[in-house]
Every structure is written in structure tokens, then in C-alpha cells.
């Protein structure tokens, strides 16, 4: 029996660590994710799917013939609708979300530090996984690979106007692409453009809900938020479940709550200590990566005024799809695909393991239960 080489031993440990984190992404997300990834995990909206070019979701947007209301034995009434035609009406379409991939090397020096090598390898792999999850959070919220970058709309399908190859769907695209009366360019209304291969002009219910704030300084946040929640709520499933905003907006929200709620001092002192608050049946939260930006300026077709985002999300509809890297019984059961064994760098003494993963956000219960409150350009 051949004795395993050093490379083979290290490769086995790295593979084992990758499988541990990759097979159970929900726990890994809970340990190291940010706000949106954690919410997706806690709401059961992280799915492992089979490898395919796109994720498809049906959209039921019609109902066929109208009904006639009439008195028995007399085919008349109000409205007098002729529903005896033979014309077929299309009632179903599909939204398409193009899967995107990413890859990186996990590098190791030729000689590891003294001590427990298993713990060291596990820590290196975990650090890489934590960075991957953090990058995925920023890609979704900002639309760029690094925080602090300019916000960008990244549409989910290659036929969409705002599509960018290699980038998964971003928040700006989810709320603004093919959304009346929003526009991401000077061309005017974008409902003639598609989001996930579906145009807002063709399926009006595919558009998210936009509410204009009664004031520009967040002073009417309570009333505006209540109106937006009610307007975007259609059923127990099709309704907003969470609201996300920038830190400054969230601090204003807590300040208004303390001022108007007349709470006892102990309660008022600890208000917001846990990081989230319940309001109108939804969870209000903030993200360190959200900030005022012109891309959230819905009212101006040129999108030139930096506007604070107040975004309502339906976690019964939004989901994160990760591609199964292998099949049961194979070496790659989780969502991280290992591309070959541990290899030496061509010109260095370091070793590396190449990995790849595929993922895409998607919406499987419509967009009208997602809302944005527009017009907040300052914080009083």
C-alpha cells in the first residue's frame, strides 16, 4: 500500500473542511453572513438546486374569460359580458434568472505553523468561506464586489437591459428595473424593458410598489411606512415581511419611536438594542452597506438626487439559489465545487485548491409585495 504524500494529506483535510461548510450553507451563513444572507437562511429561503442555465418561476397573471352576472332564465344583467367566445387568453408566463458563477484559489504555504494542522486548515477554509459570504452580501446590496462602491443595477437575465455578465441580481435592479415610474437612465419609463425576461408593460403586477414620502427629511417615516406596508400587502404570503434601510434612517426610526410611543424609561433605553424592531407586522432592520444614492431616486428620470433607500422585502418571494456541486455519493455534495486536487503554484512553493460556486437570487411569488419609499433626501 502506497503511503499518502504530503500534498494528498493536505488535500484530504481541505476537502473535508470544504465539505463541512459547503454541505450546510445555512449554518455557515448564520455564523458569518450579513443581514440579507442571514435573513434568507432564517426564513428558509436558501435553496440548493440542480445545475442549469437558468432558474425558472411561473407567473400567473391572467384569469381567462370574465364572468356574466344574470337573472336565472334570462341571459342579461350587469355587467352584460359576452363570455361565450372561443378566444383563448394567455394566463401564464415564466420569469428567468440566469445562474452566475464565481471562483477563487484557497492558498497554503508549503509548511504550516506548528500545532494541530487540522484546526489550521479548517480555519483557513472557514476564513475563505466567510469572505465569500461577505462578498455575496455586498454583491446583492451594492451590485459591486466591494463595499463603498457605486450602487449598480444588476438584472438577473441576459435579455434584461440592466444585465451585467458575471454579476448576480442586485437590490437596485430588484426594485428599479422595469418598474414604473422609475428609470435608471435618461430614456424615461423603463416598464418597456424586462426584469427576469418579463416586462412590466406586459405584466403590470410584476412591478414593485413605489410610495412617495410625504416629506423629504424622514419626519413622516411612520405614516409613510404604514402606507407602504398596507399598499404592498395582498395576502398572508404576498406581503412584505422585512424593511431594510441605511443606518441613519434606522436611527431616525428609533428616535421617532421613542418620541411618539410614550414608553417607560427602561423600555425606551433599550429600544433597538437587538438591532431590529417590529412595526406594522414587519421586521425593520438596517444594513451597513445601504446608503443614500442617486440610483434610488425614482421620481427623477435622470436619477441625479441622492435618496435614502427604504426598501420592503417579501421573504416569502425572494430566494437565494445555490447550485448543487455534485450528487449523493460523489465527493462534492455541497454548493462548493472543488476543481481538482491540491496543486503547487507554477513559480512558487505555495499550494492551492481551486474552487467554484454558482448562485443567483430570484423571485418566485411576484414583485408587487416589494416596496420602496421614495423622496427622502435628508435626515432631520
Tens-place pLDDT, residues 77-127 = 555 555 566 666 777 889 999 999 999 999 988 877 777 788 888 889 988
Set of cell numbers at residue 307: 435618496
Tens-place pLDDT, residues 272-318 = 556 788 888 899 999 999 999 998 988 765 667 899 999 999 999 99
Percent of the chain exceeding pLDDT 70 equals 80
Q: Give the burial class of 269: count Cβ atoms within 10 A of its Cβ; 0-12 exposed, 13-18 middle, 19 or more buried.
A: exposed
Q: Is the whole model's pTM more than 0.85, yes or no?
A: yes
Query: What is the maximal distance between C-alpha atoms in the chain?
Result: 93
| Non-local CB neighbours of 61 within 8 Å, separated by 6+ positions | 91, 92, 93, 203, 205, 206
Residue-level pLDDT at 262: 57
Q: pLDDT-derived band of residue 331, with 50, 70 and 90 as boundaries?
A: very low
Amino acid at each position: 500500500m502506497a503511503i499518502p504524500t504530503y500534498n494528498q494529506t493536505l488535500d484530504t483535510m481541505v476537502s473535508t473542511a470544504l465539505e463541512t461548510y459547503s454541505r450546510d450553507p445555512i449554518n455557515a451563513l448564520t455564523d458569518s453572513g450579513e443581514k440579507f444572507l442571514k435573513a434568507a437562511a432564517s426564513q428558509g429561503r436558501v435553496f440548493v438546486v440542480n445545475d442549469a442555465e437558468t432558474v425558472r418561476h411561473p407567473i400567473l397573471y391572467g384569469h381567462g374569460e370574465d364572468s356574466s352576472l344574470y337573472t336565472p332564465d334570462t341571459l342579461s344583467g350587469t355587467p352584460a359580458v359576452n363570455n361565450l367566445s372561443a378566444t383563448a387568453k394567455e394566463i401564464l408566463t415564466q420569469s428567468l434568472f440566469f445562474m452566475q458563477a464565481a471562483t477563487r484559489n484557497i492558498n497554503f504555504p508549503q509548511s504550516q505553523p506548528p500545532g494541530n494542522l487540522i484546526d489550521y486548515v479548517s480555519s483557513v477554509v472557514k476564513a475563505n468561506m466567510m469572505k465569500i459570504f461577505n462578498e455575496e452580501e455586498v454583491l446583492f446590496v451594492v451590485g459591486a464586489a466591494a463595499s463603498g462602491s457605486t450602487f449598480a443595477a444588476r438584472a438577473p437575465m441576459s435579455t434584461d437591459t440592466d444585465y451585467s455578465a458575471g454579476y448576480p441580481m442586485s437590490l437596485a435592479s430588484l426594485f428599479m428595473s422595469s418598474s414604473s415610474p422609475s428609470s435608471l437612465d435618461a430614456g424615461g419609463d423603463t416598464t418597456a424593458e424586462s426584469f427576469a425576461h418579463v416586462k412590466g408593460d406586459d405584466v403590470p403586477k410584476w412591478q414593485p410598489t413605489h410610495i412617495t414620502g410625504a416629506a423629504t427629511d424622514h419626519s413622516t417615516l411612520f405614516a409613510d411606512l404604514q402606507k407602504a406596508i398596507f399598499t404592498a400587502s395582498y395576502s398572508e404570503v404576498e406581503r412584505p415581511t422585512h424593511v431594510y434601510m441605511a443606518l441613519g434612517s434606522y436611527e431616525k426610526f428609533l428616535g421617532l419611536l421613542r418620541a411618539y410611543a410614550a414608553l417607560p424609561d427602561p423600555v425606551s433605553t433599550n429600544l433597538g438594542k437587538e438591532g431590529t424592531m417590529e412595526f406594522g407586522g414587519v421586521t425593520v432592520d438596517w444594513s451597513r452597506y445601504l446608503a443614500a444614492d442617486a440610483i434610488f431616486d425614482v421620481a427623477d428620470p435622470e436619477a441625479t438626487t441622492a435618496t435614502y433607500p427604504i426598501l420592503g422585502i417579501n421573504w416569502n418571494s425572494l430566494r437565494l439559489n445555490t447550485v448543487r456541486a455534485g450528487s449523493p455519493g460523489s465527493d462534492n455534495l455541497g454548493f462548493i465545487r472543488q476543481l481538482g486536487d491540491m496543486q503547487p503554484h507554477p513559480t512558487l512553493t505555495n499550494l492551492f485548491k481551486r474552487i467554484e460556486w454558482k448562485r443567483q437570487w430570484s423571485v418566485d411569488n411576484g414583485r408587487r409585495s416589494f416596496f420602496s419609499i421614495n423622496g427622502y433626501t435628508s435626515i432631520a
